Amino acid sequence: MQKKETIAGLLFVGPMLIGVTVLTFIPIIATFLLSLADWNFIAGFKDIKWVGFDNYERLLQDDGFMKSLKNNAYFLLTVPIYLAISMLLAILIDKHVYMKSYFKVAYFMPYISSIVAVAIVWQVLFHPSAGPVNQLLISFGIDNPPKWIADPKYALPSLMMISIWISIGFNLIVYIAGLQSIPKDLYEAADIDGANAWHKFKSITFPQLSSTSFFLLVTGIISTFKIFDLIAILTKGGPISSTSMLVWHLYDTAFVNLKIGYASSMAVILFACVMLITVLQWLGQKKWVNY
């Protein structure tokens, strides 16, 4: 009976294991191996040249890669910003707003909408001359408004604003679910003790939401390292590489310049960055996360 159950279990999980092995595990191993090689996949496997750690040494001197890494570091700032906004909106909607379902749907729509449609809408809004945003600024007396995604100084902040706008909805829904799981007895006890709204937030709401915040922080930081679609649609890494990030630079190196080995070394560095930040968060969460 035990053997039959084991065989049946393996048959059920077999397709998933095969898919994970072929589509995830083997490509990860291939990436690590190819990062040690100089290879153009059009030439075939016969032209692979093993160069050891030369690709990693080149990365340290690659201005384009360092610029992308720096841009990714700036883009990380979007995570605490939209977490704070999402938490504030979740508290307001959960306790002080009627028609809660409407606001949940309204804020969640950008997250589930097609990223292409969202990007095109923002492209129109941020048009340097005819865009509604600049037209509004001109009506307020600003003669030379920013050119937004067309200006190297404002292109990255513009993408950050769009990313924040898209991400608020998902985090808002998760925070509302976390708020509804907080025992009402805690707030009733605080009312009896005469606590005001700030003390309730500091002593009850924020600690009780700390595990939710930790989950959203980890997933949010990982998602910032995967940002690609907005860049591909709006800026293509420009102007003057001001919005180039690791995944876009990796894509451009691998599939435009056909430097697969060099791009694989970037993927390994990307993996190392995500792993390091995640481990640091797991170590630091013991000091502020309550379960």
How many other CB atoms are there within 10 angstroms of residue 259's CB atom?
A: 19
257 vs 267: CA distance, rounded Å: 16
The residues, any chain, with a CB within 8 Å of residue 14's CB and separated by 6 or more, are: none
Residues 51 and 115 in one domain: no
pLDDT of res. 191: 86
pTM of the model: 0.86
Q: Are 122 and 206 part of one and the same domain?
A: yes
Q: Are residues 93 and 178 in the same domain?
A: yes
pLDDT attached to residue 29: 92
Q: What is the pLDDT of residues 220-253, one digit of tens each?
A: 999 999 889 889 999 888 888 889 999 999 999 9
Q: Are 30 and 152 in a shared domain?
A: no
pLDDT digits (tens, 9 = 90+) for 127-164: 888 889 889 888 888 888 888 998 889 999 999 999 99
Q: What CATH number has the domain bearing residue 148?
A: 1.10.3720.10
Task: Tell me how crowded residue 149 is: count the other CB atoms within 10 A of its CB.
Answer: 27
For residue 26, being part of any structural domain is answered with yes
Q: 234 lies in a domain?
A: yes
Same domain, 51 and 85: no
pLDDT of 174 reads 93
Q: Please give the helix or strand (H or E) that residue 50 lies within, else none.
A: strand 49-50
Q: Which amino acid appears at position 252 of this protein?
A: D
| 291: in domain | no
Same domain, 119 and 234: yes
Strand partners, 37: 50
Last residue of a domain, one of 229, 244, 259: 244
pLDDT of residue 26: 92
81 and 55 within one domain: no
Residue type, 157: P
Residue 130 burial (CB < 10 Å; 0-12/13-18/19+)?
A: exposed
Give the domain range for residue 42: 2-60
Q: Tell me, yes or no, whether 214 and 102 share the same domain.
A: yes
What residues have CB less than 8 Å from 141, skipping those under 6 apart?
A: none
- Residue 290 within any structural domain of the chain: no
Q: Are residues 92 and 191 in the same domain?
A: yes
Report the alpha-carbon distance of residue 180 to residue 258 in Å, rounded.
51
Domain contains 49: yes
Do 46 and 160 belong together in one domain?
no
In a domain, 55, yes or no: yes
Amino acid symbol at 198? W
pLDDT score at 98:
77
Of 244, 259, 284, the domain-final residue? 244
CA dihedral 239, 256, 276, 279 (to 10 degrees): 100
Contact 182, 290 (CB under 8 A): no
> Do 49 and 173 have their domain in common?
no
Which helix (H) or strand (E) is 38 found in, with range? strand 37-38
Q: Is 277 a member of any domain?
A: no
Q: Is 49 helix (H, G, I), strand (E, B) or coil?
A: strand
Q: What is the DSSP letter of 37?
A: E
Is 106 inside a domain boundary?
yes
Q: Within the chain, which residues score under 50 in pLDDT?
A: none
Instruction: Please give the tally of structural domains in the chain.
Output: 2
Rounded to whole angstroms, how far apart are CA atoms 156 and 167? Answer: 16
Q: Do 148 and 204 sit in the same domain of this protein? A: yes
- Among 267, 227, 275, 261, smallest CA distance to 65 is for 267
